[in-house]
């Protein structure tokens, strides 16, 4: 009986993580000046370009994770986004609160977990 449910854990993780990136990506798409201003404030070169790379990556790779297509490859750009966000935004602005840091670490761990387990049940592709 357990064999029939083996892929549902990664599937649930995949759906939640996909939405975790798609929703903020769409919010950034509705107001690209927000992430552009944030990246400008962080001193990124070509902040408008990188803001569009960020928001399109969140949406495109988030959809890929959500539907389970090429998961072993599409997790890595999202891991990179989370690592950069953790280092440049979360840690410098922690102020003694670790909730946001733990959320980022959990997302990174979930993405890496999908790399090892694959997309799970009901996925477009079986990496």
In a domain, 124, yes or no: no
pLDDT, one tens digit for every residue, the chain (127 residues): 456 777 899 999 999 999 999 999 999 999 999 999 999 999 999 999 999 999 999 999 999 999 999 999 999 999 999 999 999 999 998 887 788 899 999 999 999 999 999 999 999 977 6
Q: What is the pLDDT of residue 127?
A: 64
Overall number of domains in the chain: 1
In a domain, 6, yes or no: yes
Domain that holds residue 14: 2-117
In a domain, 125, yes or no: no
In a domain, 38, yes or no: yes
Q: What is the pLDDT of residue 126?
A: 72
Rounded Cα distance between 17 and 41, Å, is 27
Rounded Cα distance between 65 and 15, Å, is 7
In a domain, 68, yes or no: yes
In a domain, 127, yes or no: no
In a domain, 27, yes or no: yes
């Amino acid at each position: 009986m357990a064999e029939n449910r083996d892929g549902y854990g990664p599937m649930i993780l995949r759906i939640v993580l996909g939405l975790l990136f798609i929703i903020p990506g769409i919010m950034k798409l509705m107001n690209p000046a927000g992430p552009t201003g944030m990246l400008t404030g962080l001193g990124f070169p070509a902040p408008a370009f990188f803001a569009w790379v960020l928001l399109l990556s969140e949406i495109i790779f988030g959809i890929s994770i959500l539907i389970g297509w090429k998961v072993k490859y599409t997790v890595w750009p999202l891991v990179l986004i989370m690592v950069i966000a953790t280092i440049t935004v979360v840690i410098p602005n922690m102020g003694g609160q670790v909730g946001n840091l733990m959320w980022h670490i959990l997302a990174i761990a979930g993405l890496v977990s999908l790399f090892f387990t694959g997309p799970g049940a009901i996925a477009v592709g079986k990496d």
